[in-house]
Structure 1
Amino acid sequence: MTAPVVQSEKAYTALKKKKKWPNYALFFILPAFILYTLFVIVPTLGSVYYSFTSWDGISSDVRFIGLANFVEIWNSPRVRNALQNTLILTISLVILENILAILLALLVDKVRWFSKIFRSVFYFPTLLSGIVMGFVWAMMLNYNFGVINQLLTKIGFGAITVDWLGDPRYALISILFSTVWKGAGYYMIIYLAGLQGIPQELNEAASIDGASGWKQFRHITFPLLAGSVTVCMVLSMISALKIFDQIAVMTDGGPGFETETLTYLIYKVGFGELRQGFGTALAMVLFFIILIITVFQVKILQKREVEM
C-alpha cells in the first residue's frame, strides 16, 4: 500500500513545482495593475477624501468639514426628491423592461419568417446612445411640432395633447417609456438565448397532455428562464439607478426638480453649482445604495432560482 501513496506524493510534488508562479509573470501584470491603480483605485480613494471636504472642484482650497456633507444629504428635501424619482424610475424600469423583453423574445422565438429582421428591428434602439435617443424622443414629444401630438391631432384627439416634457405630471413618465423603448431590445437577446436553450420536447409533451400556452409558459418556460431573469433584472436595476443621458437631454431635471435623479443631482451640484465635495459625498451614498440593492436582489433571485 505504500507504493501508490509514495507515487501520489511524488506526482503532487511534481505538479506543484510545475504550477509554480514564474517571477517574470509579474512584468505582464504590472502595466495593467499600474493603469488600474491610477485610474480606479486612486480616484476612488480621492473621492472618499473629497466627500469630507467643501472643495468646489476648481480652487486649491480644500477645507475638511467632516460629516457636514452627509448631514446635509440626510436633511435635504432636494436629495429626498431625487431619491424618490430614482426609486420610481428603477422599480418601473426593471418591471417594464423585463416584461417587454420577455414578450419580444417569445414573439421572435415563435416567428419562422423574417425572424432575423424582427430581431434587428427590436434590438436597433439599443445601439443608439442615450444622447441620440434623448434628442429623438425630445423632438417626438415636443408640444408644438412633436410627432406624438401631431398624430393625436390628426386622428381627432387634439383635445388630449399635452406638454409631455414640460408638464410635471407627464415628464417622468415620458422618460420612463422612452428608456423602456431603448433598453428592452438588449434584454430580449438574453431572454432569447435562454429560450433557445429550453428543450422543445418539454413543451411538446405538455401540449400533448393538454396544457395551454399560458400553463406551458408558467410551469416550464419561465422557471427554466430563471438564470436569464436574474441577469436581466440585476443589469436593468443597475442601469436604472445610474440613468443620466436621457434626463440631461430631454428635461435637464425639470420642470423644476420633477425628473431630477440622484445621478443627475450629482452632476448638477458638482459641476453646475461647483460643490464638488457635496457631489462626491452624494456619489458615495449612491454607490452604497447600488451595492446594497444589488446584493439583496441577487440573493433573492438566486434563492428563487433554486426554488424553481
Structure 2
Amino acid sequence: MTTPATLINNPQTSTKKRRKWQSYALFFILPAFILYTLFVIVPTVGSIYYSFTSWDGISPDIRFIGLANFVEIWNSPRVHNALKNTMIMTISLVLLENVVAILLALLVDKVRWLSKLFRSIFYFPTLLSGIVMGFVWAMLLNYNFGVINQMLNKIGLGALAVDWLGDPRYAMLAIVLSTVWKGAGYYMIIYLAGLQGIPQELNEAASIDGANGWQQFRHITFPLLAGSVTVCMVLAMIGALKIFDQIAVMTDGGPGFETETLTYLIYKVGFGELRQGFGTALAIVLFLIIMIITVIQVKFLQKREVEL
C-alpha cells in the first residue's frame, strides 16, 4: 500500500509530488504547533524574562532588576530550608515508593486467586487526585477526631497518639507515607509488567540448582527488572520534586516551615506574597535542578542496565 512516507522517501517520486505531501504534513502539524507555541514556548520565554524583574503579578509596572532574584535565592535561609525539605522528601519517596511497589508486584504476581482484585485494590489510590488524597489523610491523622488516634486510644495505646500534622517531628513523615500509599500502585503496574516478561524457566532452573526465593530475586528477578527500575526511579524522582497538592491540603507548609518544599515555596511567594518575579526565578532554579538530577540518574541507571 502506498503511503505518504513512501512517496516522500521514494527517489523516483517527483519533486512536485514530494513538496505536495510535505505541505499536507505541515498543514496537519500546524494546529498542534500553534497550541504548543502559545501554551509552552511563549510562557517559557516570558518566565525567563519575568525572573529578572520585580513584577508582583498584577501591576502593569514591570521593573527589570537583573540577577537580584537569583542572588536572593542563593542567600535566602528560607530557600535553603525548602531545598533541604525537598531533598529529604524526594529521597524518601523515591526509595519507599519503589520498594513498596516491587513488593506489591511480587505479591500480586505470585497470587493465583483473586489476583485481579488485589491489583485493583493496590492501584485504586492512584486514581485519586492529590487534593482528595490530602483531605482523606488530613482527616485520618487529625489529632482530635482522626481515626488513627481514635484507634490507638481504643486499644489502650493512647500514649502513642500524637499530632501527626502539627508536630514538626511527624509532619514530614505523614506526608511521605500518605504519598507512598497513593503512588506505589502506579509503579506496581510497571514492575508487574516487567515481572511477567521474565522467563519462568530461569527461576525454575535456579530452584532446581538449590537457590532459595531471596537468591532467585537477587540474582535473576531484580537484575532483569533493570529497565523497569530506571523508568520508575525517574518518574518517582520527578514526581517527588514537584509534590504540591498533599502539602497544600495537609500542612500548608507547616508547622512553621518544616514541610515547605521548593514547589510550595514558589506558590507561596508568587501568589501569597505577590512576588511573581522571585517565584518565577525560583521555578527556573527548580527546573534546572530537576533536569540535572534526571540526566545524572538516567545515565547512572542506564549504565547499570548495560552492566547487568
- Alpha-carbon displacement from aligned partner over 1:237-289 (angstroms, at most 9, x marks no partner): 00000000000000000111110000000000000000000000000000000
- Is 1:171 the counterpart of 2:168 in the alignment? no
Residue identity opposite 1:144 in structure 2: N
Q: Secondary structure in 2 aligned to 1:22?
A: helix
What is the 5 A alignment of 1:278-289?
A: 278-289=278-289
Q: Aligned-pair distance for 1:118?
A: 0.2
- Alpha-carbon displacement from aligned partner over 1:107-163 (angstroms, at most 9, x marks no partner): 000000000000000000000000000000000000000011111111111012110
- Is 1:34 the counterpart of 2:37 in the alignment? no
Q: What is the distance in 2 between the residues matched to 1:236 and 1:24?
A: 40
Q: Percent identity?
A: 85
Normalised by the length of structure 1, the TM-score is 0.95
Q: What is the distance in 2 between the residues matched to 1:13 and 1:94?
A: 51
- Unaligned residue ranges in structure 1 (runs of 5+): 1-10
Aligned equivalent of 1:7: none
Q: Aligned-pair distance for 1:183?
A: 0.3
Aligned equivalent of 1:269: 269
Q: Secondary structure in 1 aligned to 2:178?
A: helix
Residue identity opposite 1:142 in structure 2: N
Q: How many residues align?
A: 298
Q: What is the distance in 1 between the residues matched to 2:50 and 2:294?
A: 25
- Alpha-carbon displacement from aligned partner over 1:16-40 (angstroms, at most 9, x marks no partner): 9686652222111111111110110
Aligned equivalent of 1:13: 11
What is the 5 A alignment of 1:227-266?
A: 227-266=227-266
Q: Aligned-pair distance for 1:62?
A: 0.2
Aligned equivalent of 1:119: 119
Residue identity opposite 1:138 in structure 2: A
- Is 1:157 the counterpart of 2:157 in the alignment? yes
Residue identity opposite 1:56 in structure 2: D
Q: What is the distance in 1 between the residues matched to 2:159 and 2:301?
A: 45
Q: What is the distance in 1 between the residues matched to 2:118 and 2:231?
A: 23
Q: What is the distance in 2 between the residues matched to 1:293 and 1:97?
A: 18
Q: What is the distance in 2 between the residues matched to 1:12 and 1:233?
A: 43
Residue identity opposite 1:75 in structure 2: N
Q: Secondary structure in 2 aligned to 1:142?
A: coil
What is the 5 A alignment of 1:10-89?
A: 13-14=11-12, 22-89=22-89
Gap change, CA 1:19 and 1:219, over 3 Å in 2: farther
Residue identity opposite 1:205 in structure 2: A
Gap change, CA 1:58 and 1:211, over 3 Å in 2: same
- Alpha-carbon displacement from aligned partner over 1:78-106 (angstroms, at most 9, x marks no partner): 00000000000000000000000000000
- Unaligned residue ranges in structure 2 (runs of 5+): 1-8
The range that moved more, 256-265 or 22-31, is 22-31
Q: Secondary structure in 2 aligned to 1:290?
A: helix
- Is 1:201 the counterpart of 2:201 in the alignment? yes
Residue identity opposite 1:49 in structure 2: Y
